[in-house]
Amino acid sequence: MSGALEGLESVGRPLGLLPGGGYEERHVDLHEGDSLILFTDGVVEAEDEAGEPFGERLSSLLVEQRTKGVDEILTNVAHAVQAHLGSSEPADDATMVVLRIGDAKTDA
């Protein structure tokens, strides 16, 4: 695992915000062991008491967490965001989804 991150820019309107309109289709090649992390702006815009956003800390944290399971990644990022907030109240909701590409396993 190289730990390299590739950002995908959001396009179009936020999902589920307003009826109608269209969405732009994008394609990305994912391979065995790759992860896809989707998150709302509430994750990176979470501000500490001094008004500093969580921002780029997310990229560093995801590189550090790359060998962890998806549940552990979600838990560790949530804890890091909460620690960053300190006693500040979040200004927005924060949602995150982590998908890991792997072989489908079946019980025989």
Is residue 9 scored above 70 in pLDDT?
A: yes
Structure tokens at 79: 């804890």
pLDDT at 99: 92
Q: Is the pLDDT of residue 97 over 60?
A: yes
Residues 6+ positions from 27 with CB-CB distance below 8 Å: none
Question: How is residue 3 written in tokens?
Answer: 């730990």
Q: Could you tell me the two tokens for 84?
A: 């960053």
Q: Lowest-pLDDT range, 6-15, 26-35, 47-56?
A: 6-15
CB contact set of 100 (below 8 Å; sequence gap of 6+): 33, 34, 35, 69, 70
For residues 64-90, give the mean pLDDT: 93
